[in-house]
Amino acid sequence: MQSLDRFEIDTPEQIALELPLAGIGSRLLALATDSLLQLALVLALFIIGALVSMGDYSSLGLGQYFRFLSQTVGAFLLVLIPFCLYWGYFAFFEIIWDGKTPGKRVAGIRVIHQSGRPMTAVECIGRNLMRGVDIIPGVYGVGLICMMCNQQNRRLGDFVAGTIVVHDKAQESVTPSWGNRVANERLQPELRKLAPDDLVLIETYLSRRYEVDGVVRITTAQRIVAMITQKTGMPKPPEQGDDDFLESIARQLRDGASFR
């Protein structure tokens, strides 16, 4: 159910980073899972509320008082809490779980801002308030039509909040890999021509290279290597891979304390 569509983000250095967009199938899987969890919670609250409202408290000597209290609490549980649960469920989990709900965790997707940064709480709330429109006339009719009419599979809530839904990766798969070599490499003079933003770009790529498709990873690495060669005049050694070359550059820049 993984979409073949990709969302391209241009960095200030004009290096394109691509993120795999979540398809309609993945999003429907997440929605179905979340809906089942919501239904289970509502049913549990309904049963609890019904039991509380039908309780017999005459043996306590304050039958009328406790009957009124139990009916009030029961009505609260039966009406207000399910209402809050439906409208607050998605926003609550997406805020505390960095763009993911239990259903999105199952489907392996998450919500981020279209700039690539995490979604803010305000954007999350605005996005989920639009569910009231996306769900019309039922079964997310408006939302599904909207997703099918744009290349990023975005519903109205995504357009309002400026968000996209992308495939997520396990944390261990995106841990930076700096190679097995521990070498004290001297900072080559040519590397002093690189700006701090160049180091940020290199380290961003090295940290996120396993998030993207293999072809995209190779293309991105080649573009960054070409940018370094253009700025410094240093060609990549033929026997050295692109990733090894970029790791070496990053190590030298950090060890040389040129960007502190």
Residue of higher predicted confidence among 223 and 62? 223
**pLDDT at residue 171, rounded to an integer:** 43
> Contact, 100 vs 93, CB < 8 A?
yes
pLDDT per position as a tens digit, 82-104: 777 777 889 999 999 989 999 99
The tokens for 139 are 């079964």
Instruction: Tell me the pTM.
Output: 0.58
Supply the mean pLDDT for the chain.
77
Residue among 26, 45, 47, 49 nearest 37 (CA): 45
Weakest-pLDDT range from 42-46, 100-104, 131-135, 202-206: 42-46
pLDDT per position as a tens digit, 110-119: 999 887 778 8
**pLDDT at residue 200, rounded to an integer:** 83
Residue 47 pLDDT class (50, 70, 90 cuts): confident
Measure the CA–CA gap between 116 and 114, rounded to whole angstroms: 5
Phi-psi sector, 88: left (phi>0), alpha (psi -120 to 50), beta: alpha
